Structure 1
């Protein structure tokens, strides 16, 4: 009995230590390299401080040592808001890495072997100045969330076949068109394309799980017909475009719950286009040409849902 209790205590202690190791966050690469195989989280992000005040003792990174590749069990790496212009190729050796945050750096390109990060689930590239992605990018088979906002990227097939991708944020990317290869992102549930230069969309019929799409502040002059292929769509934002009508064909989006058409100044509609949507609970059309009487009728219909 005593031996059994002792074994239980040792197992409990072991699991507690292991949990503690995984829960510990290192904030210095030098300290992390003292026990490289016991490091699971490394945060080298640059911030002024919790109170927002400037702290001269905190200096943003301009270079990341290739020694980072020795942290074989690293799962989370945060490098936000530094002044990195490139990443060491050894970062691609981090086969256990699940989260990589690079937002707010000055990167012009990613390592060519970025696709070797097979365990990567979340990649934040917000405001990095990237104009292209490596051809190996579509080998990130586990990737679930990708943020590309404020990167003027020119894309072709770099994301093709990333079927695990659930959330894709591509606002402010100066996009004029979406490649046909995006129709292979069959696991996509949320897609943000606000503040680009889009006038059309490609076929989207394979995106059968897409529930949310943001298309505000683009250059659509007509309702994109390919949106009608998104049978699971629940939220649609087409505010700040150049739309003049809501087509009757919108009734194909039977799961739609919320729509926004604000600031389409020439937009008119007929109430039938909206009343064909049985699950609609939110309708926004501020600063449009829809007459007030019709708006009141639409709001009354939506308010009854």
Structure 2
């Protein structure tokens, strides 16, 4: 933000609009002056700055539905984010997060983006969020997907560019999962459960860049069952 007067103007406008966009403003610290907006904000965008931490007071934005803190230098997220019970979208991609606090109270979350961080474990608690539809965990260091993934209500799951070596068969039990991206991992063909092709709801399965040739996957008898689903969905789109 160029100067204090400019930030003050933004704050006054945000009281009316419920939106505060401080993206790409070279912020090195969270501006405490925006805390006066706790009762008003529905969207807070702090992306593309140089923030290393977020204060506990971020949990006071009780009306917040969208929080974007992507493209910063955040090493952790405060547990107080769990107080944002109306939050629907959390964008925290392109940081250096190694772990996450438990977001068990965020029952309204629909979309979570955690692309390009330092996560080594799949955050299992996200599987319990019944309204979570899209989860992006690409470009992390995750090695496995938990069995409890079957409890999720995800429609889209992006696990591209991790270090995953095996997928659980329970992944095929996700009742709403339509898109699964697992490109550029460490999967052998035998690590792809046949159930993903036969009995799952998945109609877009992206597997390029693993330890098998796509031709060998396509040669499987079960692959034709998946392709029938894929084709049927394509027909409905056009």
Using the size of structure 1 for normalisation, the TM-score is 0.66
- 1:138–1:203 distance in 2 versus 1, CA, 3 Å: same
Structure with a larger share of its residues in helix:
2
SS at match of 2:125: coil
SS at match of 1:204: helix
Aligned residues: 222
- 1:247–1:64 distance in 2 versus 1, CA, 3 Å: same
Give the drift of 1:112.
3.2
> Which residue pairs with 2:202 in the alignment?
280
> Which residue pairs with 2:25 in the alignment?
105
> Which residue pairs with 1:173 in the alignment?
95
Question: What is the correspondence of 1:121-200 to structure 2 with a 5 Å cutoff?
Answer: 121-153=42-74, 154-180=76-102, 182-200=103-121
Paired with 1:169 and 1:121, the residues of 2 have a C-alpha distance of 14
Paired with 1:70 and 1:124, the residues of 2 have a C-alpha distance of 12
Q: In the alignment, which of 210, 227, 237 is matched to residue 303 of structure 1? A: 227
Give the drift of 1:245.
1.8
Question: What is the correspondence of 1:1-305 to structure 2 with a 5 Å cutoff?
Answer: 62-65=2-5, 68=8, 72=12, 74-75=13-14, 94=15, 96-112=16-32, 114-117=34-37, 118-153=39-74, 154-180=76-102, 182-200=103-121, 201-230=123-152, 232-268=153-189, 269-277=192-200, 279-291=201-213, 292-297=215-220, 299-305=223-229
Give a deviation string over 1:30-73, Cα, whole Å, max 9, x none.
xxxxxxxxxxxxxxxxxxxxxxxxxxxxxxx631317836985x
Give a deviation string over 1:159-185, Cα, whole Å, max 9, x none.
1121211111111111111112x2221
Paired with 1:173 and 1:67, the residues of 2 have a C-alpha distance of 25
- 1:226–1:119 distance in 2 versus 1, CA, 3 Å: farther
Paired with 1:203 and 1:67, the residues of 2 have a C-alpha distance of 37
Give the drift of 1:110.
2.1
List alignment gaps of at least 5 residues for structure 1.
1-60, 76-93
SS at match of 2:67: strand
Contact 1:121 1:145 in 2 (8 A): yes
Q: Which protein has greater RCO, CA pairs closer than 8 Å, 6+ apart?
A: 2
Paired with 1:186 and 1:199, the residues of 2 have a C-alpha distance of 24
Using the size of structure 2 for normalisation, the TM-score is 0.83
Paired with 2:224 and 2:23, the residues of 1 have a C-alpha distance of 43
SS at match of 2:195: helix
Give the drift of 1:224.
3.6
Paired with 1:105 and 1:70, the residues of 2 have a C-alpha distance of 13
List alignment gaps of at least 5 residues for structure 2.
230-238
